[in-house]
Amino acid sequence: MKIVFYIIIIIFISSSIKAQERVNFIAEDGLLITADHYFIDESKPYVLLFHQGGYSRGEYIHTAQKIVKFGYNCLAVDLRSGGKVNYIQNRTALRALQKGYSTDYLSSKKDIIAAIEWVRKKNNKSMVLLGSSFSASLCLIIANNYPYIKAVIAFSPGEFFNCNPCVKEVIKNINKPIFVASSKQEQLYINDLLKLVSPIYKTVFIPSDGSGEYGSKSLWSDNPDNQEYWLALTMFFSKIRN
């Protein structure tokens, strides 16, 4: 166990953010999307971060700072379905409401795709998608459509779209590594959601001690089990590094 924690420490001091800036790009239907760009350098691959329902890119103000330590640039995106968290307002959602765009969960798929395309223009490295709640499900649905998506990290995915599409059916043929984490309360539900996915590709994490937390809030410092989640996530990043 000590060796594992030494590995974490080495990874965490290996990279530092060169700059953090707010960026904007346009979805296919014309909506302007806002994101926070956590940048190391252009030679590094990206992790794209998507929030849960009612939230904003503020879900990742601390998480992104840690993920860059794994050697990834990060892009934390305001999806059009959202609100405010950690004192950060979802600017994309405000624009969507003001301009009459649909703000249901499924419509945010356009924003995720726009983020993928924006990052793809930055460099040609493979990327990792990280979603929370409904956006975790969208990331899993999208993953197979893009060969340069290397892996998906999904916190508390589920059937958020009235089975149009059915997440369970869409992801059964996923052919790249996925890391799925949830609270203990969700365990049976998550196991059923993923039961058609090949064990070759899936890593499922449930905390062994505490009850855990819903969504990527499980990584926040105020979750008593956050270190256990971070350890599991660290091991997954180590697995997909090569």
Q: Indicate if the pLDDT at residue 60 is higher than 60.
A: yes
Q: How far is it, in rounded angstroms, from Cα 103 to Cα 213?
A: 26
Burial of 19 by CB count in 10 Å (0-12 exposed, 13-18 middle, 19+ buried)?
A: exposed
Say what the pLDDT of residue 111 is.
Answer: 98
Bridge partner residues of 181 (DSSP): 155, 205
Q: How far is it, in rounded angstroms, from Cα 133 to Cα 118?
A: 23
- What percent of the chain is predicted at pLDDT more than 70? 92
Q: Indicate if the pLDDT at residue 44 is higher than 60.
A: yes
Task: For CA atoms 212, 142, 18, 35, give the dihedral sign.
Answer: negative
Say what the pLDDT of residue 241 is.
Answer: 84
Q: Indicate if the pLDDT at residue 5 is higher than 60.
A: no
Q: Are strands 73-77 and 32-39 parallel, antiparallel or unpaired?
A: antiparallel
Say what the pLDDT of residue 65 is.
Answer: 95
Strands (E), the chain: 19-26, 32-39, 46-50, 73-77, 84-85, 88-89, 127-132, 149-155, 178-181, 202-205
Angle at 136 between CA 203 and CA 146, to 5 degrees: 85
Say what the pLDDT of residue 12 is.
Answer: 45
Q: How far is it, in rounded angstroms, from Cα 32 to Cα 28?
A: 10
Say what the pLDDT of residue 1 is.
Answer: 45
Q: Are 60 and 76 in contact (CB under 8 A)?
A: yes
Q: What is the pTM of this model?
A: 0.93
pLDDT single digits (tens) 165-177 = 999 999 999 999 9
Question: Mean pLDDT over all residues of the chain?
Answer: 93
pLDDT single digits (tens) 15-35 = 566 558 999 999 999 999 999
pLDDT single digits (tens) 103-134 = 999 999 999 999 999 999 999 999 999 999 99
Bond before 199 cis per omega within 30 degrees: no
Residue 231: which pLDDT band, with cuts at 50, 70 and 90?
A: very high
Say what the pLDDT of residue 10 is.
Answer: 42
Say what the pLDDT of residue 87 is.
Answer: 96
Beta carbons within 10 angstroms of residue 231's beta carbon = 15
Domain count along the chain: 1
Q: Are strands 149-155 and 178-181 parallel, antiparallel or unpaired?
A: parallel
Label residues 86-106 b or e (16+ Cβ within 10 Å = b). eebbbbbbbbbeeeebebebb
Residue 108 domain boundaries: 2-240
CATH number of the domain encompassing residue 47: 3.40.50.1820
Say what the pLDDT of residue 2 is.
Answer: 41
Say what the pLDDT of residue 17 is.
Answer: 61
Say what the pLDDT of residue 19 is.
Answer: 57
Say what the pLDDT of residue 9 is.
Answer: 44
Among the listed ranges 18-22, 71-75, 135-139, 186-190, which one has the minimum average pLDDT value? 18-22
